[in-house]
Structure 1
Amino acid sequence: MDWMDVGKVGLSSAAFGISCLALWISHRNWLRSNCPIVVACIETATAQDEAFIAYNLIVVNTGNRPAVNVRLYCEDSDLEQCIQPGPHAGKKPGSTWTHVKKCFQEDAEIPVLLNGKSVSNSFGFTGVNQQSFWKYNSRLKITLRYADLDGTNYRKELILLIKDSVAFAGGMWSMPEETKK
């Protein structure tokens, strides 16, 4: 066998190996870019001159494939550290606590969340003079779990900021009409 033949075989083998690596990288990148990306945030539902702000919890799929079996999880201790002590902090049936806690229960699972779509739920309020459920500016740690249509599971941890989403730094010239509901 001639050295030229060995070189040709070696070069062909290297080219085949590089092609296989490129195929693997392309497949991996395709999987990462063609998946559901589900996030959650807290948005202002209505506000009245900073004296009262009602919130919605929004869950949105910003990816390019549908998400299935979307669940939100939160430890009670994480919820409790964000709650303002006072008359609205009770855990009685029908209380704000009950409505907020329902967002993290099994029966609140979102069966299908299409790409580009969102769902929302009422999520407490802040106010002045002990008339608040949440501590304003508190951070709530949650976990999102969901799957794609092929059964690949995803798990994301997020920190939700309980704050007016209309004025990110806390000030504005006037309240936009779409937030005055």
Structure 2
Amino acid sequence: MNADDIRTLISVAALVASAISLYFTRRFWLQSNRPVVTAFVDEHSSGNMATAFNLVLSNTGNRPAVNVRVHVDSKMLRKLIGEGATPKMAAEIERCFSPAAMIALLRNGEELTTAFGSYGVERSSQHLNYGAEISVAVTYDDLDKRSYKAYMPLKVFARNGFGGAIWGERVSN
């Protein structure tokens, strides 16, 4: 092997290393510069008789998400709907997971909410089963038509005071 062959091998090795580096750089850039959409249940308001809940979709990524939908198995959804839910209220909760509830554009940093039922001491306000947890899938695309699907739990509970208690309002002395 002469000096020209060695130079050629070194040049080919450098080209291969550059191509691998380019591939991984692009891959990591795509993973870090994308929408990241999550769904969760949050309290809208709470009192001593009932708590109203919202379903929240949040894009914590750094790119907008399009065609955002939350999917759930109908059997799983029945675990979430409480005994006090009228057929109309059950349909309102189910509509959150229908194709009609698709969000065309969810900007990065944006949170959108929709009414999601309530739970209270009276049976008529028990639209949701407090503490029930189901698995949902959130599907969405980015602006370049790359598709994403994320699975996550959806649990009906008070996020403030998740451990069972919260402090009252701070009193200044």
Instruction: Report the TM-score, using the length of structure 2 for normalisation.
Output: 0.90
1:60 corresponds in structure 2 to: 58
Task: For 1:14-163, list aligned pairs within 5 A.
Answer: 14-49=13-48, 51-85=49-83, 88-91=84-87, 95-128=88-121, 130=123, 131-163=125-157
Q: Deviations over 1:11-64 (max 9, x none)?
A: 221111111100100000111111111111111111113x41110001011111
Residue by residue over 1:84-122, the C-alpha shift from the partner in whole angstroms, topping out at 9 and shown as x without a partner, is 33xx2332xxx2211111111111111111111111101
Do the aligned residues in 2 keep the contact of 1:140 with 1:162 (CA within 8 Å)?
A: no
Write the letter of the residue equivalent to 1:146: Y
Runs of 4+ in 1 over 6 A off after TM superposition: none
Corresponding residue pairs, total: 169
Displacement of 1:175 in angstroms is 6.7
Taking structure 1 as the reference length, the TM-score comes to 0.86
SS of alignment partner, residue 121 of structure 1: strand
Question: 1:15 is aligned with what amino acid?
Answer: A
Q: What's the offset of the Cα at 1:129?
A: 5.1
Q: Secondary structure at the match of 1:42?
A: strand
Cα distance change, pair 175–105 in 1 and its aligned pair in 2 (3 A): farther
Match of 1:10 in 2: 9
**Contact 1:78/1:141, CA 8 A, preserved across alignment:** yes
Q: State whether residues 61 and 114 of structure 1, in contact with CA within 8 Å, keep that contact through their aligned partners in structure 2.
A: yes
Identity of aligned residues (%): 31
Secondary structure of the residue aligned to 1:81 is: helix
Structure 1, unpaired ranges of 5+: 177-181
